[in-house]
Homo-oligomer: A and B are copies of this chain.
Amino acid sequence: MQIGLIGLGKMGMQLSLNLMDSGHEVTAYDVNAEAAAALSASGGIGVRSLEELVRRLSAPRKIWMMVPAGDVTEQVLRQLKPLLGPGDIVMDGGNSNYKDSIRRAEELAAAGIRFLDIGTSGGTEGARSGICAMVGGDAQTYREVEPLLRGISVAYGLLHAGPAGSGHFLKMIHNGIEYGMMQAIAEGFEILDKSPFEFDYEQVARVWNNGSVIRSWLMDLTERAFSKDPGLSRLKDVVHASGEGKWTVETALDYGAAAPVIALSLMTRYRSQDEHSFSGKVVAALRNEFGGHAVVAAED
């Protein structure tokens, strides 16, 4: 099947190769001309503009966007919309906020353009060899692109989740769970690291990943990380967050859902981003006031 792809970054390029492996014909555009050229070299058709991309596809066009969520996605959609016609299908495979996806589905529908929000998971490895795809939008539209989606997903890793927004909603919650799972694993190793035992963390991760209740892809990755850097001495303990975790907590607040572990996992990341904690200083100052407790002076 013919597909147009916008965005040949880390994920988009791997997805293109994956789609071509499944026998689909990929025409792709990226702001970076070199990326488009690299795709051409790999058997796809790299193009130089959105106009060219649209022109080369037969109607009803099937276009997959794989660009950064937020402003970039918004801007690309604004440029793309006037180029498309009734019946064309736009799939947003990025990490867009589900509320934006609901709004975009409506805005495009007004012009007869069909929209699917597709939450994807699996990392860059998955993009190449098989992702997990959660799809929101109209059922008939879903069926029309299902062959494409099957081509890039692992078996059972494809779901038509529900109406517009539900795909990105599921992806968002997936990431919230991911934050919690990662933090749980990290805390386990934190305790091991402070214990008097001298564990080999790579071996620990390996044994935990084989036969145990906590075996998981994240534990597999833990093993890999320790195999490369046994004490993680080459890394800083600064953890960034790309949006979905925050949205998950905001959504929990909106619906009055208790999600303490996910909220805490997010806030632990925030804490990690500050070299100094102002709240820590306030508590230290208070202890000093009432108890004359020794305080570590900043110049120490």
Residue among A251, A256, A293 with most chain B CB within 10 A: A256
Interface residues of A in 185-199 (CB under 8 A from B): 185-195, 197-199
Q: Which residues of B contact A188 (CB under 8 A)?
A: 173-174, 176-177, 248, 259, 262
Quick one: given A124-B291, A214-B218, A280-B186, are A236 and B300 in contact (CB under 8 Å)? yes
Of A45-53, A74-82, A204-212, the one contacting chain B is A204-212
Contact partner of A225 among B246, B261, B267, B285, CB < 8 A?
B285
Given contacts A188-B177, A199-B161, contact A122 B211 (CB under 8 A): yes
Closest CB in chain B relative to A210 CB, distance in Å: 4
Contact residues in B for A290 (Cβ distance below 8 Å): 123-125, 213, 217-218, 221
Which B residues are in CB contact (< 8 Å) with A155? 210
Question: Which of A86-94, A108-116, A162-170 binds B?
Answer: A162-170
- SS class, residues of chain A in contact with chain B: helix
Per-residue B-contact encoding for A135-172, CB less than 8 Å = 1, 0 else: 00000000000000000011111110111011001100
A229 vs B300: C-alpha distance in the bound complex, in angstroms? 17
B174→A208 contact, CB < 8 A: yes
- Closest chain B residue to A252, Cβ basis: B191
Residues of chain A touching chain B, judged by Cβ–Cβ distance below 8 Å, are: 10, 121-126, 130-134, 153-159, 161-163, 165-166, 169-170, 173-174, 176-195, 197-199, 203-204, 206-219, 221-222, 224-226, 229, 232-240, 242, 246, 248-253, 255-274, 276-300
Q: Which residue of B266, B286, B297 is within 8 Å of A218 (Cβ)?
A: B286
Residues of B within 8 A of A286 (CB): 182, 185-186, 218, 221-222, 225
Q: With both chains docked as a complex, state the minimum distance between the C-beta of A114 and any C-beta of chain B, in angstroms.
A: 19
**Pairs across A and B, CB under 8 Å, 25 listed:** A122-B212, A126-B212, A153-B210, A156-B210, A170-B204, A174-B213, A176-B184, A177-B188, A180-B181, A180-B183, A180-B261, A183-B279, A184-B265, A187-B259, A190-B278, A191-B251, A213-B218, A224-B289, A226-B285, A246-B253, A257-B270, A259-B279, A261-B261, A268-B279, A272-B280
Let me know if A191 and B255 touch, CB within 8 A.
yes
B277 near A237 with CB under 8 A, answer yes
Which of B214, B224, B280 contacts A177 (CB under 8 A)? B214
- Interface pair B250/A214, CB less than 8 Å apart: no
Pairs of residues from A and B, 7 with the lowest C-beta to C-beta distance, nearest first: A180-B184, A237-B280, A216-B216, A157-B211, A132-B211, A157-B210, A123-B290
In contact, B236 and A295 (Cβ under 8 angstroms):
yes
Residue of B nearest to A10 (CB): B292
Report the bound CA distance from A221 to B284 in whole Å: 12
- CA distance in complex: A229, B297 (Å): 12
List, in ascending order, chain B residues with CB within 8 A of A204's CB.
159, 161, 170
